[in-house]
Amino acid sequence: MKRQIIDTIEKYDKIIIHRHVRPDPDAYGSQSGLKELIKANYPDKQVYAVGKHEESLNFLAQQDQVDRSFYEGALVIVTDTGNTERIDGEFYTEGDLLMKIDHHPDADPYGDVKWVNTSSSSTSEMIYSLFEEGRESYGWKMTTDAARLLFAGIVGDTGRFLFPSTTVTTFNVASELINFDFDRTELFAGMYEVKRELLHLKGYMYQNFTMDDNGAAFVKLNKATLEQFGVTASDTSQLVGALGDVQGICAWVIFIEEEDQIRVRLRSKGPVINTLAAQYGGGGHPLASGASVYSWEEVEEVITKLKQLCM
Ligand code: AMP
């Protein structure tokens, strides 16, 4: 598979890489990490990483602008995105060939060439293994910038090597990547420094979450609460894991009210919860997934279903 991917990359002069909406460090890391690797090893190719830039990821990378006409005859690669609805960018179908590289469950097997590995901690870890194949068979070199991006993606998706998706391979890859001379302290600051307001909201969350005897927990963060704490809906992505530290917790859901929807962020320590997310048009990993609902009645439904999963 990896050989086929590299052979395909070798064939195209124009390559456009997409990733999912609401990007996180693995989306940016796998997308821009792959871009840097291709650029470094094939300097004559035109390679672009596209999508709506996320300001909070300024420290990681920027995004490129590509005209629709550029897609003609191009290879389009989508990283870290399980389903087409979550692909950021409108023209991804307009290239010559579409390739999916992802570690989410393959609920939507789009693309002409597809490489999905759900046992990989992150898509960035998959890109590193693509690099290993490239190194062995095609003489690929790693660069400091690609190493920094891939490391960030792995750290982000493993919750700093804490989640059970972290494997021996993950640590081996990380230990290879830190041989490169990037500033890890700066990277961690970019990823984990929190606004003071967010810490206050975290305190609110710890005070206001509800948990039943089976460890099913939830907390609702409505618009008024977010405003009161001066925190945006997207800032809250840094809080989702926090409830995982609560003793006896089984699975939890955080509801975040946005302008036109209520974001449902689900996490679990045991029961598979992406099936619940899928019932509301969402998806993700078995133990970390998300969806959107459009009323507080649906919120109550999700809570009831989560409680059933923990029984
Ligand atoms: P989040 O809570 O945004 O960090 O998302 C956790 C995981 O669920 C990530 O792997 C996302 O890719 C996935 N996810 C979140 N929302 C959705 C959605 N609406 N549809 C499919 N997957 C989602």
Q: What is the residue whose two structure tokens read 């789009």?
A: 110
Homologous superfamily of the 2-191 domain (CATH): inorganic pyrophosphatase (n-terminal core) (3.90.1640.10)
**Residue 194: what pLDDT?**
87
- In three-state secondary structure terms, 253 is strand
What residue has token string 């901690």?
121
- Mean predicted lDDT score pLDDT of the chain: 96
Phi, psi dihedral angles at 78 (to 5 degrees): -115, 125
**CB of 265 shorter than 6 A to ligand 1:** yes
Domains of the chain by residue range: 2-191, 196-309
What is the rounded average pLDDT of the residues 119-123? 98
pLDDT-above-70 percentage for the chain: 100
Identify the CA nearest to 22 among candidates 86, 102, 91, 103: 86
The model's pLDDT over 238-273, given as tens digits with 9 standing for 90+, comes to 899 999 999 999 999 999 999 999 999 999 999 999
* Closest residue by Cα to residue 33 from 80, 83, 75: 80
Instruction: Determine whether the shortest distance from the Cβ of 239 to ligand 1 is under 6 A.
Output: no
**Segment 182-192, tens digit of pLDDT:** 999 999 999 99
pLDDT at position 213 = 97
For ligand 1, say whether the CB of 237 is within 6 Å of any of its atoms. Answer: yes
For tokens 């992150």, the residue is 122
Please name every residue paired with 48 in a beta bridge, in sequence order, or none if there are none: 16
- Length of the chain measured in residues: 311
Tens-digit pLDDT profile for residues 276-298? 999 999 999 999 999 999 999 99
Closest Cα to atom 21 of ligand 1: 283
Tell which one of 56, 85, 86 to mutate to probe ligand 1, the residue whose CB is within 8 A of the most ligand atoms: 86
Is the beta carbon of 103 within 6 A of some atom in ligand 1?
Answer: no
Query: What pLDDT score does 13 carry?
Result: 98
Q: What is the model's pTM? A: 0.91
The rounded Å distance from CA 263 to ligand 1 centre is 10
Which CATH number describes the domain made up of 196-309? Answer: 3.10.310.30
Phi-psi region of 22 (alpha: psi -120 to 50; beta: other; left: phi over 0): left
